[in-house]
Amino acid sequence: MPITVHSNLSLYAVPTAYALAFLPHTIKLIWGGINGIKYNNLNPRAAADHSTLDIETKKVAKKCENLKAIHSNGLEIFPLFATAIIIGNFARLPAKYLNSFAALFLTSRVVFSAIYFLQASQTAAAARSGAFFVGMGASLVVLFQSANKVFSLSA
């Protein structure tokens, strides 16, 4: 079946969002390892001791902390997004609407991640929060739209 503008691709966004949540973790492990930052896989959630690192490696360690936070945040928002996609499909919301929502959410996650990784000011932190709320807000809108549609069909 050829992909057209009417194709519902929104369900593909679910594994894509999950993969996006794990990308920062993967980058952190590889980049941190290359730069001499050791992680204890026996206790992976323990804070790493960076007190003995040189200044440049401490900068990398700080960026690795940002990558860890991006990863955690991606996992925290994922259930809301996945639920919105699944319930939106269950409610038979239009494919174009769901595709647009999925694209908006994924874009908001990429923007959030880039700002979080690069941020160096309160303005950047505010923009990062804005990107987060775009994705979260869009997910809530889809859930309410789905509930309204299901409710109207059952009335």
Q: What is the pLDDT along the chain (155 residues), one digit of tens a residue?
A: 677 767 999 999 999 999 999 999 999 999 988 888 877 777 776 666 666 677 888 888 889 999 999 999 999 999 999 999 999 999 999 999 999 999 999 999 999 999 999 998 999 999 999 999 999 999 999 999 999 999 998 86
Domains belonging to the chain, first-starting first, are 10-154 (1.20.120.550)
pTM: predicted TM-score of the whole model, two decimal places: 0.90
Give pLDDT, residue 50: 62
Give pLDDT, residue 36: 82
Give pLDDT, residue 52: 67
Give pLDDT, residue 109: 98
Q: Which residue is it, tokens 């894509």?
A: 16
Give pLDDT, residue 48: 63
Give pLDDT, residue 61: 86
Give pLDDT, residue 43: 73
Round to whole Å and give the CA distance between 21 and 61: 19
Dihedral sign for Cα 52, 55, 57, 58, please: positive
Q: Two tokens at 59?
A: 């900068």
DSSP state of 43: S
Cβ contact 78:21 at 8 Å: yes
Give pLDDT, residue 23: 97
Phi and psi at residue 149, to the nearest 5°: -70, -45
Cβ contact 113:70 at 8 Å: yes
Q: Two tokens at 94?
A: 């239009």
**CB neighbours of 72 closer than 8 A, spacing ≥ 6?**
none
Round to whole Å and give the CA distance between 51 and 23: 27
Give pLDDT, residue 47: 61
